[in-house]
Amino acid sequence: MKGIAFYGKGGIGKSTTISNVIAALSLKGKKILQIGCDPKHDSARLLLGGFTQTTVLEQLTRTGVVSLDTVMLTGYNQVKCIESGGPEPGVGCAGRGIIQTLQLLKDQGLDTNQFDYVFFDVLGDVVCGGFAVPMREGYADEIYIVSSGEIASIYAANNIAKGLQRFTSTHGKLGGIIGNQRGTNNERQVLEEFAKKIGTQLIAFIPRSELIPQAELNSKTILEFAPNTELANIYSTIANHIEHHSNPVIPIPLSETELEDFLHEFCYNTKPQINPPHPTQTPINNNPPKQTTSQNTTNSKNNTANKPTAQTLTPKERIPVYGCSLTGAYNIINQINDATALMDSPQGCAYISYCIHQKVPPDTYPIDLPNLLCTNMQETDVIFGGTKNIEDSLMYIKKRFPTQPIFLITACTAGLIGDDINSLISKLNTNNQRILHIPSDGVMGGDFYSGLLTACQLIAEQFIDKTLNPLDDTVNLIGEQNLATTANQNFQTINHILTALGIKINCRYIRQTNIDEIKNFKKAKVNLPATNGPTIDALCTFLDKHFGTQTLQIPMPIGFEQTVKFTRTVAQRFGKEALAEKLITEAQTTYKKEIEQLKPRFAGKKALINSNGANIDWLHSTLSALDVEVTQINAFNIFAPEERTLPKLEANYTADYIEKAVCLNHPDFILSARTLTTDIPCVSFPVLPPYGFNIGLDYAKELNLKLKIPFVEGWRYDE
């Protein structure tokens, strides 16, 4: 069996050419199978006398199974014909349909060895992964490109050659170019020269002829309709070349510059300009008009509340988090107790996202029935589009949870196949139950924090009541770290400080909250970021701009000194200075008392710190309070601390550099964010330490116990 594939630009005449070549080979007594790999599924029409056969994907959609008896028909001169088919225009992935077709035929026991030839008729405008399967997976032994002398057709042929060069072996696969005349200037010469340029040959040139449309009108090949004509002889010549004279090569496609030069020389008959003028560009408006959504139009056909109106803010100069946007969006939605999340994704995405959010202790994150459901996207959804599946899933949720808002989060695949989700949501939305699309689109939507930011923005636009006025002595907490094991501990610390100051937390945006608390977001007078960083800064900027709130920029309360700054900054904003000083004095008394108890163990010691850039002010100040000399602080290059005020700070350190630093400084112990192999006691410190006055004190107590343990076990010297 020999596999032959015909590629070419859509509408160039591939199906007509391949059908006539197959007819010519069948007249030589060859057993042939033709597989149409074009969503138009009209490849075998001339061989089947105009009969529109059931495609593989069509039968798969209707019945869920594929029967060879139904999809493989017998046409002219016993030629067997199969059409892969494709999705409705505008949705799904036709290329993926080819992959599915070939796999299904293999699973159904199709024995291609019973044929002399298996022909593939493949769309070649874009040689994407699916359409490249016949060349990539070894189905086709030789590839023929059907092309005219038109510029678009030459471009397509060169792209096909690029795909062939990528996927072919050392034996080569390009059998040649088949010219199909369209009437451009010097068309045959253009094709001959192009063939030479990419290292192959023009094996035939099919002239324009009225016989072709006449034969097609009668649903016949030229070999059947007008067998004794020059045109029939040309198709027979191509068949003869495939049978006896093919010498496939690995093509050498032209670069863009080379292709442009070729087109100017042979198609335009002009020389290209050395420095062509740049096209004028319309200036981009970086300040689009602010969009708003109405609280009372959720059931309108022209509803815009379902569309992403939040301005996209991309945090700059931050290290990407290696989790996808889908997981970041679910990280937020999972914290809304009276909402349901529907993930339009394969079930694995939903499972992994849910498991990630259960990897923390139960007291930090309550283990309960998940508020997450999944559309369980299948191969057929990818090929044909998944709108029906999404609608069925939404209707199921609406029936089970009729009063809960639904958040639809999309994965990578959903972002590729083109489902019209917003129209579907507009149809299903009601005044009693809102459906909000979070277009996270998996890795296509960015990293973890991109999804988190998008979800927070869109939820704010949809649910926050803009008409409310702030109450005295109230704050919103913004951007708690939902996956951190210290999240609840940090909240309790901040809440303790605020309570001591007579300040109430209105809404945690977004952690362990509900829709009513989000609606009442504007009842708070001030927003307090619960963490620092570009993403939370961008979120606070968005909330202040769109809802008129005010964010208080404060340092996180990590260690005694920063907690003092945090407490005084918040107190000053609310006029609670006296209460703040009382709280600080009480904490200071306890802190000094316990530090004095620890000093004899540490005073006069030397320490070397290896940091990955986390906040270590608390650690440095604690060691200073214990009279420990910090001889040097080493920081990794990409994680260098933003604060450059620490003494003896060295950046860009490596393992070799650490050894030199140890030799130079002779520390009594090393505190490191990374595990080190050394003869000197090395103890880790928390990269994300808990908040509060006493984090440094608590760590010093722990360090005291660890340093009492012999660092080098005595048994090593027993011999």
Q: Which residues are catalytic?
A: 9, 14, 40, 125
**Alpha carbon distance 212, 495 (integer Å):** 82
**What is the tally of helices (H) and strands (E) in the chain?**
26, 20
Dump the DSSP string for 623-647: HHHTT-EEEEEEE-STT--S---ST
**Alpha carbon distance 364, 353 (integer Å):** 17
Say if CB 625 and CB 603 are below 8 A apart: no
Q: Which two tokens stand for residue 363?
A: 């007291």
* Cis peptide bond N-terminal to 98, omega within 30: no
Say if CB 671 and CB 695 are below 8 A apart: no
Name 221's Cβ contacts closer than 8 Å, sequence gap at least 6: 19, 20, 23, 46, 47, 76, 215, 235
Q: Largest Cα–Cα distance in the chain?
A: 110
R_g of the chain, CA atoms, integer Å:
35
Query: How far are the Cα atoms of 561, 581, 692 from residue 617, in angstroms, in the given order?
Result: 9, 22, 13
**Alpha carbon distance 533, 528 (integer Å):** 13
- Per-residue DSSP letter, 521: G
Query: How far are the Cα atoms of 559, 624, 627 from residue 664, in angstroms, in the given order?
Result: 30, 21, 20
Query: How far are the Cα atoms of 205, 441, 645 from residue 659, in angstroms, in the given order?
Result: 74, 46, 24
Query: How far are the Cα atoms of 157, 182, 235, 272, 368 from residue 263, in angstroms, in the given order?
Result: 13, 16, 28, 9, 65
The alpha carbon of 438 is separated from its chain's Cα centroid by a whole number of angstroms, namely 14
Dump the DSSP string for 70-97: HH-EE-GGG-EEEE-----TTSS-HHHH
